[in-house]
Structure formats: C-alpha cells, structure tokens
Amino acid sequence: MIGFGPQDLARDGLAEALGSDPVIYLVGGHNVHGHETPLDLAPLEAQLDDLASDVSAVAIAGYFAVRNPAHEIAVRDLVRQRTSLPVTCSHDLSSRLGGPRRALTTLLNARLISMVARLIDATSGYLRSRHINAPMMVVRGDGALISAEEALTRPIETILSGPAASLIGARHLTGLDNAVVSDIGGTTTDVAVLEGGLPRLDTEGATVGRYRTMVEAVAMHTSGLGGDSEVRLAEGSFDAGLTLGPRRLMPLSLAAHLWPQPMLANLERQAQSAFPGRDDGRFALRTGLPDTLASGLTVQEAALYSRITREPLPLATVLTGTSQRATLDALVGRGLVLIAGFTPSDAMHVLGRQDQWHVEAARFGAAIFARRKTGSGLAVAQSPGELAEMVSARLTRQSAEAVLMALIADAGISGIEVARSAFIDRALSRTPGLVRFGIKPDRPLVALGASASVHYPAVADMLDTECFVPHHAGVANAVGAVVGQVRETVIVFVTEPEEGRYAVNGAGEHHIFKDRAAAFDRARLLAGTQARQAAIRSGADHPVVEHVEEIKMPVIEGLEKFIEARFTAAASGRPRMAVK
C-alpha cells in the first residue's frame, strides 16, 4: 500500500478480507492532481526475497493511482524483477476514486489469479487435444469479451460472467433492446435489465462474497428459486400454504431416473404405508466429491457421512436421532451430501409439462407430500395432481415477486417488501373490491432457462406484460458468449491544480500543460489510443472507438470556473477469427 496507513485497512472491509496476509506500507502516492509524494522502496526491497516464498501473488494499491500510476508501476516492475509472482495494480482495474475499496478490489483480484489460471489451462489443454486452434475468449461481468491472456491478469472482471452472457444472448435471440430478463435454473432465478441493448450495470460495483468491489458487472438480483427448489409447508400455516426454496434438492424424478429400482420400491412402500413417516419422500446420497474434501469432519459428521452412500437411501434409514438433522445439514452445506425430495420439477412431471425423467416417481412423491397435515389437521391436497397445481401456482407467484423485487430495487425505490405488501398482493392476485390495484413492468419479460417455457407464460400473465421465451432459451448464456463483443473503456481526466496549469491524468500517464486546449487535445488522443490498444490486447479485430466528453465549467458571478474535464473513449469490436 503506497501512501496509505494502517488506519485505511478499517474501511470497506479491507482488514477483514486481508485476514492474516502480510501488508507492506510504502511512503509515496499522489494527490488528486497527480503530484507525487516521493516514493520510498526500501521497506519493500528489505522483505521481497522472503515474500517470494510466502505468498502466491502481490496486490499493489497507490494513493490516487488512478490520477498518476507511476508509483504502482515502479513497485510492479521491482516485484517482477526480483520474483516470478503475479502482480495486480489497482489502476489497471478501476479509474474510480476511493483508495481502500480499490485496494480491496485489487486484493481479491490477486487471489483469483491462480484459480482462473487453472480453469484457463484446463480449457486450453482440452482445445489442443481436440486440435482446435482458435483464440480463446472469456466473458466479463459486464457482458463484454476479453482474451484469455487478459482474463489471467484481471480475473475479478469475470465475476457474474454467466448471467451477463445470458443477457447478451437474450438480446441476440429476441432483438429486444429494452427488457427485463429472468433466467430460471435448478437452484436460483436471476433477474436483470436490458437497457439500450446492453445489460444495466451495478453502479456501486459488483459484490464478491461479502465485499463490494469497483468491478463493473451486470446488476443482477438472485432469488433462491428454481426447478429444483425444496417444496415446504409454510411455517405456522393453518391452511395448505406452500413455499419454495431457498434450499435445492435433487428431484425425485431425476433420482429415480438414475437409480430406478431402489427409488421406486422405497417410494411405493412409503406412499402405501398406513402411517406416514416424518421423513417419507426424502433421501440422502453422497455428491461424489473426493474423500480428500471430507477432511476435518467432526466425529458426529464423520459417523453420519460413513452411513451415506452414492445411492439414495431413505432419510429414516440414515438418521437415528433428531439431533442428527443438524449434522446432516452441515454435510449438505459442505457440498458432501445431497437430499432428494419433491420439487417443482417433479410437479411438472405430474402435470405432464415435463417428461425427461421418471414420471411415476414424481407421482409417488406428490402422493406422499399430499398426505402431510396442515395446521388445521387436514391433508395438504386430495390428490397428486392437486398438489402439483398448488406447487405450480406457488412458483408462478414467487417468480413474479422475484421480478418485481429486482425492478423496484433497480428503480431505487425503498420501503416496499414485495412478499409482504398488501397492495402488491391485491395487484398480483387480481383481488376484487372497491379499489383495484395493478402493477406491471414498463418493458416486456424475456424468460431464459430450460424450464422457462413451462413456467413463464403464467408469470407474464400475472405481471400483465408481454412474454418472450426464445427458442434456445436453455442455452442463452452460450449464445451470449458467441455473439458478444470486445469492449474496453478508458477515462482520462483534466484538472487545474493551479491557475493556468492543466494536469492530464489517466491511462497510465501524467502530463502538465499551460494551455487548456492542448491539454484537452492530449486527453482525447490518449483516451482513444489507449482504448484501441486495450481492445486489441483483449482480442478485438479492427475496434471502433467512440468518444464522450464531460466538461464541468460552471459560470460563477459571470465568470467561467473550470472544475474538471473527463474524456471517455470506448473501443469495441468482434474477436479475431482463427485462420487456417
């Protein structure tokens, strides 16, 4: 950290993210106009040889490095001369002010390098084994493409790349520039907005784990609702209220598709039993992770894990006491164990809207769940079909609420709890009365995901909006990766540190001019040149550059007062094609 002190670690979660990793503080840095405090490299030089064997990467953050990155570059060059460690500089990741958050972003990026390197190496090796000699591109979190080489230096920019690719795919498949896009998977529903043909980005920066970064990424709202969501009785429900998620289960129809004999025999026995068991319709199985990942289990966890096999076993067989439920949840949380149970995917098999797995197992599961008692002592449903319709209706309602929650959040409206609002409830349920409430998005709904065509026509009807389910809705993110473009943006600032002297800062350079027009010309040229070169490094072929200028020069008491000028250049183009 150059020009920062230990007190800066307390901001933006930096100390928590850093943990026990070492920090080196160097005197140096710059002010807002790019003027330097002399850099002292001695503390780094004294520790560098030891660090090379103790850490896996180096993150460098300098005070106001976005206005003058000279000190970050000097530290980077020294680290590269003396070690082979990967290095991340904060000015390469963001041009925004806010040193501690930029340092946090740089730290997280450095930690991701080895992980993304393994992914890229594995993919490159597979391509070579298939004799595919083509440039490999990676999707960024804003939907743009970058070369694999650039992704290795800026892996944090790939956060939320999957959802971003889905938005680009939705734009290509529907031709819509403005839409709300909802992607339903097995575990979650992701909702985001297309505006002007591009994903709407999170202006505050993408969240990585618990930490808010400076990475531009799609403004994505995720709900724990999908085709494999757990179907549960609503807690404290006197009637047959259902709720879905957020936990994911393996659908019974899928489990029976993979293990037909034991699953069908157990389900049929449970469905025909005169005395329903608490755990009927639930099974446990190992996920198949290597045993090395099961290290560190408690004695209770290890004992329970040893009784669970790769083949589904009824929970009543696996659990020998009530206290073991928490132990089982811990194994599920570590990704070692899966629970199979009744899900919306099973309900769709009962209703004949899906048929890729085992229909009879789904019907047995519905029959078992329907026998459960509500708070009033009555059965949840009178038939498997009735239960399946109830699950379908609940999925429709929760999906509509997920879309509304995302749109209300993006609109900056606070104070509305969608799931608890009486007004929204009356609007979505079309409740008759003296006052009629209505609510709808201001743009059409695009539904993605393999099961989108099954669920989303009803969701769009509830939201009173037009629905588009593209023919290739199940692979929209792959389509988005194929049709995406490289896009690199560079911002150069001009300020007036003292009257008659103009500082040009950005794109790794710092210059002083006595003439404002000359400073502006240099800023335009620098932004355009650097954006084009960055796009070429990221894999673009013949990028096109667009310029935007923002000059803050208010008139105060009849005189113009220059505050700041911002010159933005965005270079975009399609990736280079492989040539035989």
Chain CA centroid to CA 197, Å = 20
Q: How confident is the model at residue 580 (pLDDT cuts 50, 70, 90)?
A: low
The DSSP output letter for 218 is B
Q: pLDDT value at position 315? A: 95
Q: Which residues contact 225 (CB under 8 A, 6 or more apart)?
A: 184, 188, 189, 244, 245, 246, 395, 398, 399, 402
The DSSP output letter for 576 is P
H-helix or E-strand spanning residue 54: helix 42-54
Q: What are the two backbone dihedrals, phi and then psi, of residue 3, each rounded to the nearest 5 degrees?
A: 85, -5
Q: Are 141 and 165 in contact (CB under 8 A)?
A: no
Q: What are the two backbone dihedrals, phi and then psi, of residue 249, each rounded to the nearest 5 degrees?
A: -120, 160
Strands 58-60 and 87-89: parallel
Over residues 337-360, the pLDDT tens digits come to 999 999 999 999 999 999 999 999
Q: How confident is the model at residue 209 (pLDDT cuts 50, 70, 90)?
A: low
* Residue 470, SS3 per DSSP: coil
Tokens representing 441 are: 């998005």
Q: Where are the alpha helices (DSSP H) in 98-215?
A: 99-129, 148-153, 161-174
Q: Which residues contact 298 (CB under 8 A, 6 or more apart)?
A: 327
Percent of the chain with pLDDT over 90: 53
Q: Are 495 and 509 in contact (CB under 8 A)?
A: no
Q: Are 324 and 307 in contact (CB under 8 A)?
A: no
Rounded Cα distance between 179 and 170, Å, is 9
The DSSP output letter for 430 is T
Q: Are 362 and 264 in contact (CB under 8 A)?
A: no
Rounded Cα distance between 461 and 117, Å, is 45
Q: How confident is the model at residue 237 (pLDDT cuts 50, 70, 90)?
A: low
Over residues 534-550, the pLDDT tens digits come to 999 999 989 999 999 99
Evaluated on CA atoms 352, 358, 359, 364, the torsion sign reads: negative
Rounded Cα distance between 218 and 215, Å, is 10
CA angle 491, 217, 14 (to 5 degrees): 85
Of the candidate ranges 155-159, 367-371, 383-387, 530-534, the one whose mean pLDDT is the lowest: 155-159
> Which residues are 552's β-sheet partners?
564
Q: pLDDT value at position 579? A: 65
Specify the amino acid at residue 79. Answer: V
As a whole number, mean pLDDT of residues 71-89 equals 88
Between 444 and 90, where is the model more confident?
Answer: 444
H-helix or E-strand spanning residue 303: helix 299-307
To the nearest whole number, what is the mean pLDDT of the chain? Answer: 89
As a whole number, mean pLDDT of residues 16-28 equals 86
pTM for the full predicted model: 0.79
3-state helix, strand, coil in the chain (%, to 5): 40, 20, 40
Instruction: Give the DSSP letter string of 257-269.
Output: HHSHHHHHHHHHH
As a whole number, mean pLDDT of residues 446-461 equals 94
Is residue 508 scored above 70 in pLDDT? yes
Is residue 12 scored above 80 in pLDDT? no
Is residue 238 scored above 60 in pLDDT? no
As a whole number, mean pLDDT of residues 441-452 equals 94
As a whole number, mean pLDDT of residues 56-70 equals 86
Over residues 423-433, the pLDDT tens digits come to 999 999 988 88
Rounded Cα distance between 559 and 450, Å, is 62
Angstrom CA distances, 68 to 1, 71, 216, 454, 495, stand at 15, 8, 21, 54, 12
As a whole number, mean pLDDT of residues 299-316 equals 94
* Residue 519, SS3 per DSSP: helix
Is residue 375 scored above 80 in pLDDT? no
As a whole number, mean pLDDT of residues 270-296 equals 88
Of the candidate ranges 19-28, 199-208, 397-406, the one whose mean pLDDT is the lowest: 199-208
Q: pLDDT value at position 236? A: 55
* Residue 370, SS3 per DSSP: helix
Q: How confident is the model at residue 152 (pLDDT cuts 50, 70, 90)?
A: confident
Is residue 240 scored above 70 in pLDDT? no
Q: How confident is the model at residue 235 (pLDDT cuts 50, 70, 90)?
A: low
Percent of the chain with pLDDT over 70: 98
